[in-house]
Chains A and B, each alone.
Chain A
C-alpha cells in the first residue's frame, strides 16, 4: 500500500524520549505534578547484548502517550515510591528479564511462582530453547503472625468452586473479619508475550485474540493499532466504524454477564438468570454478525478480514435487547436486598484507585473521569459522541452503576455507528518498516489495554508487551478487602469484574 503521511494514524508513530536512569524519578514526579499518570514500564532487548526499558505515561490534554526509553547501567531506581502502580511492572521485569530495581519495597517474585525452577530469565536472549519452567511440588504457605494463635489462614484455590478461573487467595482472618488478603495469581501464566516473537504482523492477530477470551476484540484491536502506528498505516473509514461496533458489542455481552454474576453473589436468583440470559442473547447476536460468539476472526492489521452486514437487522435486535435491559435495570435498582449488599461494600478510595493504577469502570466508579475512547480516541471514536459514566462512591454499587450506564451508552453508540456506517473498502495493506515500534490501545470492557510492538530488522515481531486492565485492577483490588468481612468478599470480587487470563497472560 501507499503510506499517507497526513492521516490521523500517521501522527501516532513517535520516537521515544531518552531518559537517564538517574533522572527517572524526577521525570515521573513531573508527570504526576502536571496531572498525568504513569501507565507502565516494560523491558525489551533491541540487541541480544543490550536491554532497554520503556516507560509509558499519560500527559493531560495530549492524545498521544509519552514514551521514555531508558538504558540501564546496572540496577535501575525503582519508581514505586513515586508511582506505586509501577511496583508490579518492575517485579515482572525482574522475573522475566532478570533486571533488578533498587529500593523496591517488595522485591519478591510476582509472575513466576516462588520455588519455580527457571534456568534463566525467560526473556533473556540466552534462555535455552525448548526448556520449560518447572513448578515446585507445593506452594509455600506463609507463617501466621500473632501471639495468641487466633489469626487463621485460609488458602483458597487455585482450583475454586464452580466454573471459575484458577487463582489462589490467602485470607488471614479472625472469625468473620478479614485482617489481610493476598491474591496469588499467575497460575495461568502461559508466556503469551514470548509467543508473539518471530511471528509476522498479520499472523499474530489470532494470538492476540486468544490472550483473554472475553476481551478478544479489545486485544486484537489494540494489537492491530500498535502495528498500524508502527507502519503509519491508515485504516479505511468503514473498517474504523465497524471496529467501534465490534468493540461495543464486546462491552455489551461482558457487562450483561457481569450484572448476572453480581446477582449470583447477592443471591438474587431471578436477577442472575435474567442477566445471564441477556448476555446469551448478546453472544448470539455476535455469532450472527461475525460467525463467532467472541467476535473473533474479523480484525486484522489494516482493517478487517472481511466485510460485515449489520444493516437492516442489527438495529432492531439491539433495540429489542435495550428494551429488555431497561426493564431489568429498573428492577435491579429498586431491589433493596440486592442494593443493601452492594452499597458501601468494597469501597475503593479515589486516591488509592489513582495511585495503585485501577482502570476502567473500577476507576470511573471511584471518581476518576478517564476513558481512552474519549481522551485518546482511536478507530472511529473521535467522530462519535462518547459518554463517560462516572460515579464517586467507589463501592460495589458504584461499580455496577458505571457498567449499567455503559450498557445504555454502548447501545446508543452502536445505533449511531449503524446510522453513519460509510461504504467503502475494509482493509489497506500495511507495509511493516523493519526496526519500527508502535503503541496501540483500546478501552476494553475492563479498562485500559495497551499493546507495545517492536519489529526486528526482518520485519518480524521482536517484542510484544501486553498491559491488560485486569493486571491493573488486581493490583488495586486487595486494598478493598483488608479489614472487611468474609460475607462481602464474593460480592466485592464480582463487582470488580476481573479476569485472570488477561492478568496472567
Chain B
C-alpha cells in the first residue's frame, strides 16, 4: 500500500489546468460538429442531405435569404459524412464541440448568431459551487458513459469543480440523461425524475438524448427526451467529449458562457 502512496506523489499533479485556466483541454485532433458555410453552397446540390444518416441536414422548402439548408446540430452524430460528400466545402470539419445550449433552437443553424450573453445561471446561486448529478442511462451505446466515466479520471478531475455524481436521485439536483429512452427505460427514467426533490433540472447528454440519434424510431428505440421530461440543457455529440460535458455543466451553473448560438460557436 505505501508504494501506491509514493507512486501517486511521485506522479505529481496530472490534472489539466483547463477550464479554470488557459491550457490543454485534452481534445487535440477531436473532430466536432461540421461547419456550414451557406456562401459556398451551390443550388441544385443536396449531397450532404443525402448522406446525412439522421436527417440533421435537410433542404429548405421555400426560398429564403439565409442559406438553402436547415442544419440541426441537435440531430448531428458527428459522422463527418457531409464534409466528405460536399463538393464545394460548404460543409467542413471543425473542432467545434462546445455545443451545450439552454434552448433547443440554439442548436439549429441560423445566419444571425447573436453574440453570447454574459454567464447566467439556470440554477439558484446556492448550487453555483456544488452540484450533485444523478446519471441515467436510457439506452445509450455506452459511448456517452465512457466519456462521463472519464470525467473522474485524474486528467479532468471533475470533483475539483465541486461537481459530483451521486447514487440517489433524492440527493441529486440535476438528472443527466444519456440514450434515446428505450421503451423499457421509459418507466425507470420517469421514476428517477419523480424521486428528485425540487428544484430539479434535466440535462440531455448526447445526440440520442437530445433527439433520438442514429437509431431513432423503430419498435423499441425511442426519440430522446422530447416529450418525456422537461430539458434544461441540451448537449449534442456522439458522444460529447469530457471537455464538452464540463463546459456544459459550468454553463448550467453560470460559471461559463454558452458558446453556441444559431448553430455556431461565438465568443
Which chain A residues have a beta carbon within 8 Å of chain B's beta carbons? 113, 116, 118, 122, 127, 131-135, 137-138, 158-166, 186-192, 194-195, 203, 206-207, 209-214, 216, 257, 260, 268-271, 273-274, 276-277, 279-280, 283-284, 287-294, 296-297, 305-306, 331, 334-335, 337, 499-502, 504
* Residues of chain B lying within 8 A (CB to CB) of residue A113: 184
CB-CB nearest in chain A for B133: A163
Q: Are A280 and B140 in contact (CB under 8 A)?
A: no
Q: How far is the CA of A213 from the CA of B27 in the complex (A)?
A: 18
The 10 lowest CB-CB distance pairs between A and B, nearest first, are A213-B143, A291-B31, A161-B167, A276-B153, A501-B142, A270-B4, A191-B220, A288-B29, A213-B141, A270-B8
Please tell me which one of the listed residues A138, A159, A162, A189 contacts residue B220 in the complex, with CB atoms under 8 A apart. Answer: A189
- The verdict on A277 contacting B29 (CB below 8 Å), with A190-B215, A210-B215, A210-B238 known, is no
* Residues of chain B lying within 8 A (CB to CB) of residue A306: 84
Q: Are B7 and A331 in contact (CB under 8 A)?
A: yes
* B165 CB–A CB distance under 8 Å: yes
Please tell me which one of the listed residues A160, A194, A270, A276 contacts residue B219 in the complex, with CB atoms under 8 A apart. Answer: A194
Q: How far is the CA of A216 from the CA of B221 in the complex (A)?
A: 19
* B70 CB–A CB distance under 8 Å: no
CB-CB nearest in chain A for B189: A159
- The verdict on A190 contacting B220 (CB below 8 Å), with A288-B28, A305-B84, A501-B142 known, is yes
Q: Are A293 and B93 in contact (CB under 8 A)?
A: no
Q: Are B165 and A271 in contact (CB under 8 A)?
A: no
* Residues of chain B lying within 8 A (CB to CB) of residue A500: 142
Q: Are A335 and B3 in contact (CB under 8 A)?
A: yes
Q: Are A133 and B144 in contact (CB under 8 A)?
A: no
- The verdict on A158 contacting B220 (CB below 8 Å), with A133-B183, A166-B139, A206-B214 known, is no
* Residues of chain B lying within 8 A (CB to CB) of residue A331: 3-4, 7
Q: How far is the CA of A146 from the CA of B81 in the complex (A)?
A: 59
Q: Are B188 and A166 in contact (CB under 8 A)?
A: yes
Q: How far is the CA of A257 from the CA of B152 in the complex (A)?
A: 12
Supply 5 further A-B pairs (C-beta < 8 A) apart from A163-B148, A276-B153, A501-B140: A161-B167, A162-B135, A260-B153, A280-B155, A306-B84
* Residues of chain A lying within 8 A (CB to CB) of residue B143: 210, 213-214, 216, 294
CB-defined A-B contacts under 8 Å, sample of 25: A132-B219, A135-B186, A138-B187, A165-B142, A187-B185, A188-B140, A188-B185, A190-B220, A191-B215, A195-B215, A210-B215, A213-B144, A213-B239, A270-B7, A273-B8, A276-B152, A276-B154, A280-B150, A280-B155, A280-B156, A284-B26, A291-B29, A291-B30, A297-B80, A335-B3
CB distance from A93 to the nearest CB of B (A): 16
Q: Are B219 and A268 in contact (CB under 8 A)?
A: no
* B5 CB–A CB distance under 8 Å: yes
**Which of B150, B184, B214, B239 has most A Cβ within 10 Å?**
B184
- The verdict on A190 contacting B165 (CB below 8 Å), with A122-B219, A293-B147 known, is no
- The verdict on A195 contacting B218 (CB below 8 Å), with A165-B142, A283-B150 known, is yes
* Residues of chain A lying within 8 A (CB to CB) of residue B114: none
Q: How far is the CA of A29 from the CA of B53 in the complex (A)?
A: 44
Q: How far is the CA of A66 from the CA of B245 in the complex (A)?
A: 46
Q: Are A499 and B142 in contact (CB under 8 A)?
A: yes
* Residues of chain A lying within 8 A (CB to CB) of residue B145: 163-165, 213
Q: Are A296 and B93 in contact (CB under 8 A)?
A: no
Please tell me which one of the listed residues A164, A190, A274 contacts residue B182 in the complex, with CB atoms under 8 A apart. Answer: A190
Q: How far is the CA of A273 from the CA of B145 in the complex (A)?
A: 17
* B202 CB–A CB distance under 8 Å: no
**Which of A191, A194, A210, A292 has most B Cβ within 10 Å?**
A210
Q: Are B179 and A188 in contact (CB under 8 A)?
A: yes
- The verdict on A277 contacting B84 (CB below 8 Å), with A191-B215, A335-B1 known, is no
Q: Are B77 and A206 in contact (CB under 8 A)?
A: yes
